Amino acid sequence: MPTRRKFLHSSAAGLAGLAVTPLAPLAAGARPGPPAAGRPLVISTWDAGLNANRGAWKILGPGGYALDAVEAGVMVTEAEQSCCVGLGANPDRDGIVTLDACIMDDKYGCGSVAALERIKHPISVARRVMERTPHVLLVGPGAQQFAVAQGFSLEEQKLSPDAEKAYREWLKTSQYRPVINVENSGARPPGPAGGASNHDTIAMLALDAQGRLSGSCTTSGMGFKMRGRVGDSPIIGAGLFVDPEVGAAAATGQGEDVIRMAGAHTVVELMRQGRSPQAACQEAVARVAKIKGPQARDIQVAFIAVSRRGQVGAYALQKGFSYALSTSDAPRLISSEYFLK
Ligand code: SD4
């Protein structure tokens, strides 16, 4: 167990690492440089981001729209049927898989769904909410009703074999203990099922050849969560935020702690004040650490960010977070820097 003293020591070390000289804050109405037209890129969370980025690059590479890319990219992950994204994911404590997703374009358009059941591609439903309703967020049965009315098919309510096994294991204790970095631990909580493709929430940010930014995020949320629990991932400003004047940011990790400090919005606002995407992610993570105190050791929170000029950044609370970056059709997996040493 970390002592409070050790924690304070490591926090101070982390904060010292934050002595990044900020760029000059933007004057009212000013824009942070020209957009990065002509140089598309896509960044996404965890190792699952590699395949997702490949999906996104099929659109970005030939000059397509960032919004189409972030939808298609995370659809790859939703279809992979892993422990934590899409219908193959771990269920809630009542044994039902419920999915959260959101999407945001380059014109402050946004749409999300939460607690959606039996729909294979929640990200596409979120996009329909954005494009075909006057609303931003639909939840539960209403979200499902909308999806069906939009032509999405209702899949069987049945756990995947891996999820079934993990759920049965979980029932033995029924203890709620989210596992930090389960996304790339190769283990599906609480038992040994899962494997190399194990991952959690995927969040993706893209800048296209015309300098347009978009973002997406999709998850089953924390495995074995309370029924009705919604995390940060479908909450605009928490799990995802895109401001075409500044940049975009997305979060992964313990959603409750991202929501309480308006995570992605905080990162974007720090960029607006002149921080680079890297410094902004770092400062936002430091804020989580400060809020949580010694309990910060029990959670993971990480942010990724892109400026409208095409700079990227990422930072995590704890060791173990990785992200995929593509500036060509060959994505790279990068181990994130982190706060708690
Ligand atoms: C949630 N933020 O539902 C998600 C979980 C996550 O990596 O991102 N895990 O709280």
pLDDT in tens, 170-226: 898 887 777 667 665 544 444 333 333 344 689 999 999 999 999 999 999 988 999
Q: Which strands, in side-by-side order, build the sheet including 41-45?
A: 137-139, 110-116, 99-104, 213-219, 202-207, 41-45, 322-326, 332-335
Please tell me the distance between residue 203's alpha carbon and the centre of ligand 1 in angstroms: 10
Q: How confident is the model at residue 161, as a pLDDT?
A: 87
Ligand 1 pocket list (CB less than 6 A): 183, 200-201, 219, 221-222, 231-233, 252-255
**Active-site residue among 77, 98, 201, 219?**
201
At 37, is the pLDDT very low, low, confident or very high (cuts 50, 70, 90)?
A: low
Assess whether pLDDT exceeds 80 at residue 31: no
Question: Which has the closest alpha carbon to 185: 284, 109, 273, 84?
Answer: 84
Atom of ligand 1 nearest to the CA of 258: 2
Atom 8 of ligand 1, residue of closest alpha carbon: 252
Report the pLDDT averaged over residues 294-317.
96
Instruction: Yes or no: say if 117 and 100 are a contact pair by the CB < 8 Å rule.
Output: no
Assess whether pLDDT exceeds 80 at residue 284: yes
Report the pLDDT averaged over residues 100-128.
98
Please tell me the distance between residue 260's alpha carbon and the centre of ligand 1 in angstroms: 14
| Bridge partners, 323 (sequence order) | 45, 334
Atom 7 of ligand 1, residue of closest alpha carbon: 253
Atom 6 of ligand 1, residue of closest alpha carbon: 253
As a whole number of angstroms, the distance between CA 124 and CA 144 comes to 12
pLDDT tens-digit profile of 48-79?
Answer: 899 999 999 999 999 999 999 999 999 999 99
User: What pTM did the predictor assign?
Assistant: 0.87
Which numeric CATH code is attached to 33-335?
A: 3.60.20.30
Mutate to test the pocket of ligand 1, among 45, 47, 222 (most ligand atoms within 8 A of CB): 222
Please tell me the distance between residue 231's alpha carbon and the centre of ligand 1 in angstroms: 7
How big is the CA angle at 124 (ends 120 and 130), to the nearest 5 degrees? 145
pLDDT tens-digit profile of 226-274?
Answer: 999 999 999 999 999 999 999 999 999 999 999 999 999 999 999 999 9
Q: How confident is the model at residue 6, as a pLDDT?
A: 39
Question: Domain spans of the chain?
Answer: 33-335
Residue burial 302-340, b: 16+ Cβ < 10 Å; e: rest = bbbbbbbbbbbbbbbbbebbbbbbbbeeebeeeebbbbb
Assess whether pLDDT exceeds 70 at residue 20: no
Mutate to test the pocket of ligand 1, among 82, 183, 229, 232 (most ligand atoms within 8 A of CB): 232
Assess whether pLDDT exceeds 60 at residue 141: yes
Q: C-alpha distances in angstroms, 110 versus 216, 265, 310, 312, 331?
A: 10, 14, 21, 22, 27
* 201 a catalytic residue: yes
